[in-house]
Amino acid sequence: MLGYIAKTNIQHNGISYKKNDFISNEVLDEQSEKRLLFLNVIQKSYKEVGTVSNNENYSTQKEEKEESVEETLDLNFEPEELKAGAKELGLEFAGNISKKKIIALIIENDKSAYFLDQLED
């Protein structure tokens, strides 16, 4: 599930969020999202459905299990696409890196949102 992590304690629409709380993207409208990102109080994040968040005001349990970020990248991108995107994001790696290792590198460097955003288009 795509959403946001609170970088600090914030209050939005009468709801208090503590630092590191997950905020579902369903909670924020586009204008609020842009404003909070501009203020640098939230950051884009990905959370697997079924994990418990500190903020349960908007938590919803979905019976269907979503794929992990690693599985999503593996299923939706070719190795060359991952390498080109990683290079564009400034990541350094050997030219003969395996698909599994480039995915791990992308996740370790918190660059998966770049690829996940492409899937939403």
Is 64 within the bounds of a domain? Answer: no
**Amino acid 66: pLDDT:** 41
Domain around 8:
2-46
How many independent structural domains does the chain possess? 2
**Amino acid 121: pLDDT:** 58
The DSSP H or E segment spanning 10 is strand 10-12
Whether residues 76 and 110 fall in one domain: yes
Whether residues 42 and 73 fall in one domain: no
Whether residues 74 and 116 fall in one domain: yes
- Three-state DSSP at 43 gives strand
Whether residues 74 and 32 fall in one domain: no
pLDDT band at residue 61 using 50, 70 and 90 as cut-offs: very low
**Amino acid 1: pLDDT:** 67
Cα–Cα distance for residue pair 35/57, rounded to 1 Å: 21
* AA identity, residue 6: A
**Amino acid 46: pLDDT:** 73
Which has the higher per-residue pLDDT, 65 or 97? 97
